[in-house]
Amino acid sequence: MKLLDISDLRVTFRSPAGNVRALDSVDISLDAGDSCALVGESGSGKTVLGMAIMRLLPSNAIVEGMVHFGGLDLASLGDPEMRRIRCGEIGMIPQNSAMALNPVLPIGRQVTESLVLHLGISQKEAEVTVLTLLHRMGIPDTDHALKQYPHEFSGGMRERVLVAMVLACNPQLIIADEPTSGLDILVRHQMLGLLREQSRDKALLLITHDLGSAHVLCRRIAVMYAGEIVESGPTEKVLSMPMHPYTQGLLASIPSAGLHPIPGMSPSPGTFPAGCRFCDRCHSVFDRCRVEHPPLKTIDGIRLVRCHRYG
Amino acid sequence: MSRGLLFRACCVVLLCYVAVAVFAPWLAPYDPLAVTGKPFTPPDKAHPLGTNATGQDILSQMIYGTRVTLLVGFGAALISCTLSTGIGVLTGYYGGILDEVSMRAIDIFMTIPLFPLILVLTLFFTPGIFTVGFLMGILGSTHGVRIIRSQVMSLRQANFIEGARAIGAGDLHIISRHIIPNILPVVTVKFVSSAQNYLLMGVGVSFLGLGDPLVVDWGQMIQAAYSSGGFALGLWWWLLPPGLAVVGISLALALIGYSSEDEINPRLEVSQI
Amino acid sequence: MIELEGISKSYTSGFFHKQRKTVVHNASLAIGKGETLGLVGESGCGKTTLGRITLRLIEPTVGKVWFDGTDITSLSGKALRKIRPRMQIVFQDPDTALNPRMTIGDSIAEPIHIWEINSHAEADDRVLGLLEVVGLQPELFSRRPFELSGGQKQRAALARALALDPEFLVADEPTSALDLSVQAQVLSLLKEVQKSRNMTVLFISHDLEVIRCMTDRVAVMRDGEIIEVRDTAALFASPGHPYTRQLVRAAYEGEVWYGKERAGRGRVG
């Protein structure tokens, strides 16, 4: 049985301007110990996907489809059970470290909070566990660190504290939302090392637009565009031999590949064209692409592509 | 009730008050200071709101009183906002020793409660409601300076201000074209809340009898009603109208401030997930 | 063309100005005409401050800045303003680079109105021309910043910087806040503009990959000091200073970049 099984997930947002479909028919599955990267740009829907799994979307979001975790249908769970899952079973490392920590509470309190709430142990016992955890994270002077406040830490240290908070309850699945964006090179390097080490025996879902970190951390990769998955497969293969024109364009637009930009702009949710959503920007578009929306096809048994070029 | 509707409704109410003040001579049936009837008469055909202790028509007094009350309140707010914007912009933009000295001076001023200060000062100056308004404006401006100054200081760091300096714009250009348009929302909201504040303060001052006894305004009317035994005698037609008028405009101003938050600020961000 | 000589910048705080924090220490740089010099370092190393000092948007505590033979650090306010049209800057954050209450057209036209006595019609024509140069549709002329995407705002900011045809441009992390493909668009635009106008560019970034493909020479900064200045290709092939070596190796191992360079390196771990 798969640890995480998402099938036909669709997310629509209700807005005064009408309903907007942000995520369309997404299928993802992860075994325990597996790792998958969701790669895409703003508007691709990858953040929405992460939040849909955690059931953290705002109230105007309509979620359809199935999200199964460890055999449980997450949509059917009540709030208290979902909260327990959110901490103990699925851990989400949020995007913006500066805003994710409470500025008026010392670090020690924040990290032990989840342990105290979910395992029911006392503050003192939690602190002991946390001390070892922080030490593993490479945070120096851990006794003193427990009493310090977020603003006394550098950005890189705060990221580690966040990772510590998430790992404190030993979740089976880690969802990391843009863990390396905005980080300096050296800090990013340390963060990648940290994530790689801590996710060895857990399942990892990495949401990012940083292709490098996808390559370092994940065995599989799924490229998202305009709310759907357009290509997926083993990371090494997809990045060295991309099949979908968007993936090819993305790889060609990297500075060291020559900075060849993809013309045009990603369509925002609600303005997706009929037919293939990438047709306006594709360099090898057929007439068929503008009219018929391509389904996801399996190639060579392990790769999936959503493009008319492949049949 | 949606905010837009509330905003418009309150503006209409405010405009009614202003219209009454402007067209007072045409609307009031009598001269407010003229004795036109027997004292203490309840409302009747000749005097829709009755007469007061001297026999003056209360309705006319109410109508003319609108002028004074509004003038004092808005006048003081205008003085106060102009002054605080000016000082706030200069200290926030230039900083340095000017800023430090001004802020210490303002800190000292702010520790003195405004209302008692006004009372004390009017005892030394010639008592007059317009003088009071003027003083309120000057002294009350200290409260607004900090708000505007901090807005200006945070704006000054914004990249587009540096960009304006980079293209060679002078300070005057930057202040007038970039800083002031962007602090207008704050200034407007402050103006509305100041007006409400000073209006109530003005009414309070004349209620305490420190205004000009010859100038009719709502505070003075309430005071006269009170000292003539209006409460004991049950002279509701004398006590209620000015009181309700004050509450009415105060509420209208407060709700304008509340409901205009969306209208005044341009949408600065469009959030997307 | 541009020369920085012994620049230091420190900030003092405290009521009696007792605490001193040095952000830039004894930095010296030279940028030749038509050259693109990269300034790279981690956050807090002082590169942004140094970039602004180059335009005298921030005053150096010590040191001189020479622009095309003129010592701009000794110029008076008025004389400095006169030189400003020749040197411009593009900022990192597209959200605050433009006045939210002005239309795009007005923002781009502003430098033109300050310095030249064009009629409004002539100025508008020039703005439309600039919009075309940066690849924005003419309809955006009358839109406000909040209606544009990050990439579009950044292009508009670039159009504004180019309005007076500057000889020198400081690009302060212009694409750090943008998506990958948008970054490619803005950067290739920048490259094109630089080439066609033979502009001198100071390109500030913390992203080594971007620096590598956008610059001719690179200066590495750490804790306020310039620790190495070399030709870009040479710096990446064989970095001299141990800190630079650390940066380059972290970039390679973190797989910051791809392309043909990756072949033969394999995956780490």
**Residue B117: is it exposed, middle or buried by C-beta count within 10 angstroms (0-12/13-18/19+)?**
middle
Say if CB A138 and CB A83 are below 8 A apart: no
Phi-psi region of A290 (alpha: psi -120 to 50; beta: other; left: phi over 0): alpha
C111 at the B interface (CB within 8 A)? Answer: yes
Are the Cβ atoms of B270 and C147 closer than 8 angstroms?
Answer: yes
Listed in sequence order, the DSSP H helices in A179-226 are 185-198, 211-217
Look at residue C264 and tell me whether its pLDDT is greater than 50: no
Angle between the N-to-C axes of helices A155-167 and A107-119, in degrees from 0 to 180, rounded to the nearest 10: 10
B271 at the A interface (CB within 8 A)? Answer: no
**Dist CA A122 CA C88 (whole Å):** 59
Say if CB B178 and CB B161 are below 8 A apart: yes
Distances (CA, A) of C42 to A37, A156, A185, C207: 26, 12, 7, 9
Amino acid B175 reads I
Look at residue A130 and tell me whether its pLDDT is greater than 90: no
- Residues with Cβ < 8 Å from B231, sequence gap 6 or more? B225, B239
| pLDDT value of residue C266 | 36
B195: number of CA atoms within 13 Å, CB side?
23
| pLDDT-above-70 percentage for chain C | 91
Count of B-C CB contacts under 8 Å: 73
- Report phi then psi at C203, rounded to 5: -105, 110
Q: From the candidates B154, B156, B160, which should be mutated to test the interface with C, based on the most C CB atoms within 10 A?
A: B160
| pLDDT value of residue A122 | 82
Which residues in chain A touch residue B272, judged by CB atoms under 8 angstroms apart? 42-43, 268-269
Q: What confidence tier does C170 reach under pLDDT thresholds 50, 70, 90?
A: very high
Residue of chain C whose alpha carbon sits nearest to that of B178 = C99
| pLDDT-above-90 percentage for chain B | 8
**Dist CA C38 CA C206 (whole Å):** 10
**Residue B147: is it exposed, middle or buried by C-beta count within 10 angstroms (0-12/13-18/19+)?**
middle
Count of A-B CB contacts under 8 Å: 9
| pLDDT value of residue A305 | 92
Pairing between strand C2-13 and C87-90? unpaired
Are the Cβ atoms of A256 and C259 closer than 8 angstroms?
Answer: yes
Question: Terminal CA-to-CA distance of chain C, rounded, Å?
Answer: 46
Are the Cβ atoms of A51 and B272 closer than 8 angstroms?
Answer: no
Q: If you average pLDDT over every residue of chain A, what do you get?
A: 84
**Dist CA B254 CA B256 (whole Å):** 5
pLDDT in tens, C129-165: 888 888 888 888 888 888 888 888 888 999 999 888 8
Are the Cβ atoms of B168 and C84 closer than 8 angstroms?
Answer: yes
Gap from C99 CA to chain B (nearest CA, Å): 6
As for the ipTM of the complex, it is 0.79
Residue range A12-17: average pLDDT?
83
C84 at the B interface (CB within 8 A)? Answer: yes
**Dist CA A230 CA A304 (whole Å):** 8
| pLDDT value of residue C200 | 92
C268 at the A interface (CB within 8 A)? Answer: yes
Say if CB B167 and CB C85 are below 8 A apart: yes
A51 at the B interface (CB within 8 A)? Answer: yes
Gap from A114 CA to chain C (nearest CA, Å): 31
Phi-psi region of C24 (alpha: psi -120 to 50; beta: other; left: phi over 0): beta
**Residue B116: is it exposed, middle or buried by C-beta count within 10 angstroms (0-12/13-18/19+)?**
exposed
Are the Cβ atoms of C82 and B182 closer than 8 angstroms?
Answer: no
Amino acid A300 reads D
| pLDDT value of residue A44 | 83
pLDDT in tens, C89-130: 998 888 888 888 889 888 888 888 888 777 778 888 888 888
| pLDDT value of residue A97 | 66
Are the Cβ atoms of B273 and A22 closer than 8 angstroms?
Answer: yes
Please name which of A210, A246, A37 lies closest in space to residue C255, comparing C-alpha atoms: A210
| pLDDT value of residue A230 | 92
Which residues are registered as beta bridge partners of B51? B57
A229: number of CA atoms within 13 Å, CB side?
26
Residue of chain C whose alpha carbon sits nearest to that of B266 = C101
Pairing between strand A35-39 and C70-71? unpaired
Token representation of residue B75: 């006048």
A43 at the B interface (CB within 8 A)? Answer: yes
Which residues in chain C touch residue A204, judged by CB atoms under 8 angstroms apart? none
**Dist CA C7 CA C24 (whole Å):** 7
pLDDT in tens, B119-144: 887 777 766 777 788 888 888 888 88
- Look up tokens 């002279």; give the residue: B235
Say if CB C9 and CB C73 are below 8 A apart: no
Residue of chain C whose alpha carbon sits nearest to that of A255 = C210
Residue of chain A whose alpha carbon sits nearest to that of B272 = A43
Which residues are registered as beta bridge partners of C19? C13
More confident residue, B272 or B97: B97
More confident residue, C260 or A145: A145
| pLDDT value of residue B37 | 79
Are the Cβ atoms of C114 and B167 closer than 8 angstroms?
Answer: yes
Are the Cβ atoms of B167 and C157 closer than 8 angstroms?
Answer: no
The pTM assigned to this predicted structure is 0.79
Residue range C42-70: average pLDDT?
87
Any idea what DSSP says for residue B35?
Answer: B
Nearest CB partner across the interface for A42, out of C179, C208, C261? C179
Q: From the candidates C83, C110, C149, C169, which should be mutated to test the interface with B, based on the most B CB atoms within 10 A?
A: C110
Look at residue A58 and tell me whether its pLDDT is greater than 50: yes
| pLDDT value of residue A178 | 86
Residue range B51-65: average pLDDT?
84
- Look up tokens 């003005």; give the residue: B202
Token representation of residue A46: 């990858």
**Dist CA B263 CA A74 (whole Å):** 41
Look at residue C16 and tell me whether its pLDDT is greater than 70: no
**Dist CA B215 CA C34 (whole Å):** 76
Rounded to an integer, what is the distance from CA A74 to the centroid of its chain? Answer: 18
Torsion angle defined by CA atoms of residues C174, C62, B95 and B267, in that order, rounded to the nearest 10 degrees:
0
Any idea what DSSP says for residue C117?
Answer: -
Residue range C53-81: average pLDDT?
86
**Dist CA B149 CA B67 (whole Å):** 33
| pLDDT-above-70 percentage for chain B | 93
| pLDDT value of residue C201 | 93
**Dist CA B35 CA C202 (whole Å):** 83
Please name which of C113, C2, C118 lies closest in space to residue C64, comparing C-alpha atoms: C2
**Dist CA B151 CA A174 (whole Å):** 41
Distances (CA, A) of A172 to A217, A277, C238: 16, 35, 43
**Dist CA B42 CA B61 (whole Å):** 15
Are the Cβ atoms of C160 and B168 closer than 8 angstroms?
Answer: no
**Dist CA C94 CA C172 (whole Å):** 11
B272 at the A interface (CB within 8 A)? Answer: yes
Residue of chain A whose alpha carbon sits nearest to that of C256 = A212
Look at residue A131 and tell me whether its pLDDT is greater than 90: no
- Look up tokens 């800045």; give the residue: C65
Q: If you average pLDDT over every residue of chain C, what do you get?
A: 84
pLDDT in tens, A161-210: 888 888 877 888 999 988 887 778 888 888 888 888 888 888 999 998 88
Chains that touch A (3 or more CB pairs under 8 A): B, C
Residue of chain B whose alpha carbon sits nearest to that of A11 = B273
Nearest CB partner across the interface for C257, out of A186, A240, A255? A255
Q: If you average pLDDT over every residue of chain B, what do you get?
A: 83
Say if CB C211 and CB C40 are below 8 A apart: yes
